[in-house]
Structure 1
Amino acid sequence: MGIVIPFLAGLALMLLLMIKTKLGPFMSMLLGAFIIGIGCGLPAGKAISSITTGFGNICRSIGIVIIFGAVLGDYLDKSNATQRIASTLLRIAGKKRADVALSATGFLVSIPVFCDVALIMLAPLVKAIAKKSGQALGALAVGLALSLLTTNTYVAPTPAPISIVSILGMDLGESIFWGLIVAAVNCMTILAYCRFYLEKKPQGWFQKSDTAIMTDMDEPESASNNERKGQPSFLASILPVIVPIGLILLATTCKMLRVQNEAFLSVVNMLGDKNIALFIGIVTAVALLYRYLPREEVFKSMNDALTSSGPVIFITAAGGSLANVINTTGVGKVLADSLTGMALPYLLIPFLICGFSKFVQGSSSVAVIMASTLTLPLVQSGMLSPVVAFIAICAGSGFGSHVNNSYFWVFANLFGYDTKTTLKSLCVGQHVMAFTGLLCAYVLSLFL
């Protein structure tokens, strides 16, 4: 346990710097990563190497996705496509049920699409719906972000559930069946959390970051985009969003069905790659929507998005640096080993191992693999049902979420909220999800 105390001290210092100083999340996380690395016994050179490696890994993983997502989002916004989609959804669902429409969208979209990619694509839509419905942007944004997490957490073919199924040796179809049920319960819980808690908060409760405030000040208070060239049709507006999602879904479905035609599969996998799919979404947007922008803004919109996506990438990558340093120290393994030796109820063991691992190193995928590996003996000995263990591990991946998770920074930077606001809205909601999942696992343990 010798490295746990330096880790907690370094983490507390980093959070203090983020919340109480003007240093900003980027420098705070890099400094915190270095302090934690040195405090946990890493040589200075290895700590710096871990920082740069983690930074590069995140940039390689989601850097292009964030840029393409920003370009697509900006194009949809300036062409009034998001306004058209928002108007149509609100007409169907009604203004009072805008949050329900977004939650259902998040629940369905995140089955085939990674939640961070989906959030990047749907963020402009949330902002447009907030303006038209009169509901608080913060509540709608958190509702969508957490709804995306529900199926991403519990339902294959996303990586975390697949990893658990593989390690525990359970049936994939059984995991999908129970995962969908628990994800739906979580989605309803999150809807209640946002509607009856976040929606009641005063406007000043959701604080913007300094960067977002400056961006808002720079935006001209000119006439609405609606006065430019009208609005595109709903089909033209929604296709740039549906096309990339459909391509990713097609590639995922072919993998699940184990399609044998290698030539067809190679083409589908290429088109279904998240970067290629989003690029095709951009091409679709330009082809269908260019006439709704002034000629000088057809490509200027893309350059503006490149500028705005930079801070999102850098801050998210800094979170990757922090996670990689913590993972290198091995503090997560120390905590997991300590938990397995305690006299806890069997149900809590996978939940807490996964939760503390997520708290320490930030990656849900790493956390569920560790928890599944250490829980396997309990399953093999009959102390836990595979289904109950599966749900408990999935639930634990939301416990302990904070600033070392890339999704935290994608959300914060897309909607412009500061660290404190994101902690008390998104992260609290993730813990609501975690304990809802744990409760579901307990109920299932009474019957399975």
Structure 2
Amino acid sequence: MGDFYTIIFWIVLSIILIILGTARFKLHPAIVLFSVALLTAIGLGFPVIQSVEVISFGFGNMLANIGILILLGCVLAVILEELQSIKYLSNLFIRVFGLKKPFLLLSSLGGLIGIPVFCDVAYIILSDFSKTLAGQAKVSRISTSVTIASSLYIAHNLIPPTPGPLAVIGNFGVADQLGLVFLLGIIISLFLVLILSLYAQFISRNTLNEDTEIEKEKDESNTSKLPSKIIIPLILPIILIANGSVLGIINSDNVVLNALETIGNPIIALAIGVLIGLFLLKRKSSELKMDLIKKAILQAGPILVITGLGGSYGQVIKESAFSDLLIDSINIQTQEPFMILIIAYLMAFFIKTAQGSSTSAMIIVSAIIAPLIIGSTLDTVMGTSLLVLAIGSGAMMVSHSNDSYFWVVKEFSGMSVKQALKSYSIGTILLSVSSMVLVMLLFWILG
């Protein structure tokens, strides 16, 4: 629908309208997203009825992917709050690691958990932990939220077995190089974690006054007498999902391993965490348990609506054939290895920024770039492995209003849209550029 520059115009205009509507005029994000998605669809030439259909499809498709995860995550969060699990875990981490480097602690934790656990799920689980730790470390909640969200995002884009890097490896036909991609991704991620820690310190200094008094209060509650079993509903789903991710690569015919892979499905794993949490609340009244479920549903409602409409907006861009026109408008016939790396990065950046999905951007770009590798000086084990990471680096930029993860981070952190754009979205730009610089440096040294 429309030529390349027309689509670019409407994408840029729609992003500006979303920012103005939510940050400047303080309209509810759901209203803004729906209105902008409809206006953009019509502006791109879709008939009104088809525009509504595209919006509805995007909404339903997004909720089909993560709707139940968000609901279960909210239920688990209120149960963990009642059990005081997050406070217990926070105090445990403080006793072990101290509070001198809270951002390095959080970014390392997020990077580790983000390898096996999908970033949306992991952030929902860890969001209350970042809030509690912020109060105890006397830093801003915005900074701890951005640290957790960004560290999970790093792993999501750079380290297999997350879906994006796996898909790129598959398109390149280099499954035997998964271990090398994993190792190089870890090396780059370690440097990014350090950069993220410094960035988070900067955010904290500039946003501490924006937190509420509740968020700045130091938690004085005594959790030393609480039983350690209260963290099982939090830890077990992470272990199950991690285990399921690893077993999904093995493709074993063993019945036990297949059963473990099944319960490692994120929905099943979170449901198990919820059931265990309810069991640990067995001494509480049935009325309290029902109230907790109702509270979780009320919390999940706005998040589901906003996330679904973010999917609607992204679907409009996908239906516009932006990706195909971008491919046609860029000359990618060069066989120069550095140029292929840069072009792959830029294409992933443009597609990700336009339509919101990092995984989709990685899949599309790797399919386009794959034929260019054959016969080029990039056609080496190290070259193709770093190309995977160049595409992953590009797919980090920019996480904003058309990315479902942006809305998950925004809603579960308590940030406003303006705060999320200024802190988290800007952070994804910094991490993306830094990651690509590291990829180029590694190629210069090792390629």
> If the length of structure 1 is used for normalisation, what is the TM-score?
0.90
Counterpart Cα distance in 1 of 2:421 and 2:196: 16
The aligned residue for residue 266 of structure 2 is 274
Residues paired across the two proteins, number: 431
The aligned residue for residue 308 of structure 1 is 299
Please list the CA deviations of residues 325-382 of structure 1 after superposition, one character each: whole Å capped at 9, or x if unmatched. Answer: 1100112322243233598933310111000001111011111112112222332232
C-alpha distance 381-45 of structure 1, shift in aligned 2 (>3 A) = farther
**Percentage of pairs with the same residue:** 29
Counterpart Cα distance in 2 of 1:49 and 1:143: 37
The aligned residue for residue 393 of structure 2 is 395
State which of 42, 48, 71 in structure 1 corresponds to 2:46.
Answer: 42
State which of 308, 329, 332 in structure 2 corresponds to 1:317.
Answer: 308
Counterpart Cα distance in 2 of 1:116 and 1:346: 31
SS in 1 for 2:340: coil
C-alpha distance 67-230 of structure 1, shift in aligned 2 (>3 A) = farther
Q: CA RMSD in A?
A: 2.4
- In structure 2, the gaps of 5 or more residues are none
Post-superposition offset of 1:296: 4.6
> If the length of structure 2 is used for normalisation, what is the TM-score?
0.90
SS in 1 for 2:45: coil
State which of 349, 354, 361 in structure 2 corresponds to 1:355.
Answer: 349
The aligned residue for residue 365 of structure 2 is 371
Please list the CA deviations of residues 278-327 of structure 1 after superposition, one character each: whole Å capped at 9, or x if unmatched. Answer: 11101112223554x67753332222111111111110111000011110
Counterpart Cα distance in 2 of 1:400 and 1:250: 30
The aligned residue for residue 287 of structure 1 is 279
Counterpart Cα distance in 2 of 1:341 and 1:309: 44
Equivalent AA in structure 1 for residue 165 of structure 2 = P
C-alpha distance 324-231 of structure 1, shift in aligned 2 (>3 A) = farther
Question: Is the 1:236–1:289 Cα contact (8 Å) retained in structure 2?
Answer: no
Counterpart Cα distance in 2 of 1:175 and 1:264: 29
Counterpart Cα distance in 1 of 2:428 and 2:43: 29
Question: Is the 2:76–2:273 Cα contact (8 Å) retained in structure 1?
Answer: yes
C-alpha distance 403-71 of structure 1, shift in aligned 2 (>3 A) = same
Mapping 1:367-446, distance limit 5 Å: 367-384=361-378, 385-446=383-444
Counterpart Cα distance in 2 of 1:276 and 1:5: 42
Counterpart Cα distance in 2 of 1:324 and 1:137: 32
Structure 1 residue ranges (4+ consecutive) displaced by more than 4 angstroms after TM superposition: 224-227, 293-296, 341-344
Post-superposition offset of 1:148: 0.9
Question: Is the 1:155–1:176 Cα contact (8 Å) retained in structure 2?
Answer: yes
Counterpart Cα distance in 2 of 1:89 and 1:174: 31
The aligned residue for residue 346 of structure 1 is 340
Counterpart Cα distance in 1 of 2:342 and 2:389: 11
Counterpart Cα distance in 2 of 1:183 and 1:230: 34
The aligned residue for residue 89 of structure 2 is 85
Q: Work out whether 1:22 is the aligned partner of 2:26.
A: yes
More off after superposition, 78-87 vs 294-303: 294-303
Please list the CA deviations of residues 242-299 of structure 1 after superposition, one character each: whole Å capped at 9, or x if unmatched. Answer: 11111112222212222122x33442233112111111101112223554x6775333
Question: Is the 1:107–1:148 Cα contact (8 Å) retained in structure 2?
Answer: yes
Equivalent AA in structure 2 for residue 198 of structure 1 = I
Question: Is the 1:14–1:31 Cα contact (8 Å) retained in structure 2?
Answer: no
State which of 118, 122, 125 in structure 2 corresponds to 1:118.
Answer: 122
C-alpha distance 202-145 of structure 1, shift in aligned 2 (>3 A) = closer
- In structure 1, the gaps of 5 or more residues are none
C-alpha distance 101-202 of structure 1, shift in aligned 2 (>3 A) = closer
State which of 65, 74, 87 in structure 2 corresponds to 1:70.
Answer: 74
Post-superposition offset of 1:157: 1.0
Counterpart Cα distance in 1 of 2:313 and 2:439: 31
The aligned residue for residue 185 of structure 2 is 179
Question: Is the 2:80–2:86 Cα contact (8 Å) retained in structure 1?
Answer: yes
Equivalent AA in structure 2 for residue 278 of structure 1 = L
SS in 2 for 1:3: helix
Counterpart Cα distance in 2 of 1:420 and 1:24: 12
Counterpart Cα distance in 1 of 2:207 and 2:124: 26
SS in 1 for 2:242: helix
Question: Is the 1:150–1:184 Cα contact (8 Å) retained in structure 2?
Answer: no
SS in 1 for 2:400: coil
Counterpart Cα distance in 2 of 1:92 and 1:141: 21
The aligned residue for residue 245 of structure 2 is 252
Q: Work out whether 1:144 is the aligned partner of 2:135.
A: no
SS in 1 for 2:59: helix
Mapping 1:180-259, distance limit 5 Å: 180-195=186-201, 197-205=202-210, 226=221, 232-233=226-227, 235-259=228-252
Counterpart Cα distance in 2 of 1:65 and 1:363: 17
